[in-house]
């Protein structure tokens, strides 16, 4: 059996290009559920319990838009 080099489909290449473009504009791709390490880091940083960290994480993922005009500029993420 000879080895073949698999080439991604043009649709896959287009999708990967789109994802790369989004990342270049500051979009990060995160899991739907935070990992234990993410929860622990949030609890340490915020000085709050892990259950509240997980609740905050889920609430942030449920926001409909990347830019919420009701948030004062000084509270927006950079």
User: What does the pLDDT look like over 27-67, one tens digit per residue?
Assistant: 888 999 999 999 999 999 999 999 999 999 999 888 866 56
**11: confidence class by pLDDT, cuts 50, 70, 90:** very high
2: in domain? no
Q: Which helix (H) or strand (E) holds 20?
A: helix 10-24
Residues 33, 30: Cα–Cα separation, whole Å: 8
20: in domain? no
19: in domain? no
If one counts the domains in the chain, the total is 1
Q: Domain range spanning residue 54?
A: 30-66
In the prediction, which pLDDT does 45 show? 97
Closest of 59, 25, 61, 54 to residue 40, by C-alpha: 54
């Amino acid at each position: 059996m000879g080895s073949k080099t698999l080439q991604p489909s043009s649709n896959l290449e287009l999708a990967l290009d789109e994802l790369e473009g989004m990342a270049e504009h500051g979009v990060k791709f995160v899991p739907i559920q935070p990992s234990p390490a993410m929860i622990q880091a949030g609890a340490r940083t915020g000085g709050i319990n892990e259950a509240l960290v997980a609740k905050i994480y889920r609430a942030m993922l449920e926001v409909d838009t990347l830019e919420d005009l009701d948030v004062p500029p000084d509270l927006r993420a950079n």
